Amino acid sequence: MRKNIVAGNWKMNKNLQEGIALAKELNEALTADKPNCDVVICTPFIHLASVTPIVDSAIIGVGAENCADKVSGAYTGEVSAEMVASTGAQYVILGHSERRSYYGETVEILEEKVKLALANNLTPIFCIGEVLEERKAEKQNEVVAAQLASVFTLSAEDFGKIILAYEPVWAIGTGLTATPEQAQDIHAYIRSLIAEKYGQEVADNCSILYGGSCKPSNAKELFAKPDVDGGLIGGAALKVADFKGIIDAFK
Ligand code: PEP
């Protein structure tokens, strides 16, 4: 059956020394009080090689926040999936709304990134979600269905390796959170699309995380919904007490 997962997205926060200190502090806290779910931290590229050896890989997985849509070569400033994997990282966030809106990442670009991540044995945490205008117009189902096109070209076997994260853009970093009912409704819809495409077993095995202003005070209620399998956490992943408070929602 599918796993419960809490994944942190550090975004462009913490210099190298601060990132190492945060990872050490989290590792200590979770070694002392073991989580009842999988835990992942997704860090800026430059942190990866330093953070992977200092966390206990049996407790904390490490991932990048992006990777290139090309294998290698003359793409100045880009970081390939192979490079990410060579640091010891096991995950990569792809399709985050900030990448889609600020860096023009399209369904086609993301399809390439997902394939390259999988080819390098990275687990993509693939993000989908609607903006506020789309929610107001009740178009959220249409939007997520269209975004899933990037991963619906995968074989059933490869689709089985990815994690999905539903993140309503209007809830990211805004303090607004989807209600547990709103999250459940769309997670169930996403799972129904997976079942249509790949069958019920693949759908039942897919972890679908919720992201958007998740915090210790609302995590338990959100994660209690049957189709919400954990969270992708931005701001609250930068403080061990908050991140652990969310992880402890599974206790
Ligand atoms: C995110 O960026 O993935 C996110 C969920 O951010 P926040 O928790 O800060 O809303």
Q: How does pLDDT run across 179-216, given as a tens digit for each residue?
A: 999 999 999 999 999 999 999 999 999 999 999 999 99
Distance CA 171, CA 160 (A): 27
| Residues that are catalytic | 96, 167
pLDDT at 23: 98
Averaged pLDDT, 16-24:
98
Who lines ligand 1 at CB under 6 A? Answer: 9, 167, 172-173, 211-214, 232-236
Amino acid in the structure at residue 131 = V
Protein residue with least CA distance to atom 7, ligand 1: 234
In terms of pTM, does the model score above 0.95? yes
